[in-house]
Amino acid sequence: MSQKIIPVVAAAIEQDDLIFCAQRGKGKDLEGYWEFPGGKIEEGETPEQALEREIREEFGAHIDVLSYVNEASYDYSFGTVVMKTYRARLVSGELKLLEHMDSKWLKPSDLKTLQWAPVDREAVEILSRD
């Protein structure tokens, strides 16, 4: 049986040489793991549009998508997540935790100190080298 493919996007939101990291909320798949925020791409959306919408819905803030970082996939029990990660910056609002339990702004060199969701780890590798 083939796994369900779940296309998602994530934002490495940068501000003052720091990157925003969010911890998945209680009762969610991968509860307690850290991730770059984002979510599923809906029918008819570009990855950039999906990312802007997800950050608005999950954090009440507006971002600009700046550049592509990478694409990674990981086979979870619930399906294969194929994730495109982008660098982004905050345009307006502040990042409120509406669905996550914690957040941190970290220097790229400190990203590896967190327990990341498996699909995020490749982007962490790339971003931590900057």
| pLDDT tens-digit map of 95-118 | 999 989 999 999 999 999 999 999
| pLDDT tens-digit map of 41-50 | 999 999 999 9
Yes or no: say if 11 and 127 are a contact pair by the CB < 8 Å rule.
Answer: no
Yes or no: say if 3 and 79 are a contact pair by the CB < 8 Å rule.
Answer: yes
Q: Where are the alpha helices (DSSP H) in the chain?
A: 47-59, 121-128
Ordered domains of the chain (ranges, CATH):
5-128 (3.90.79.10)
User: If we measure between CA atoms, which residue out of 130, 129, 125 comes closest to residue 36?
Assistant: 125
pTM given for the model: 0.93
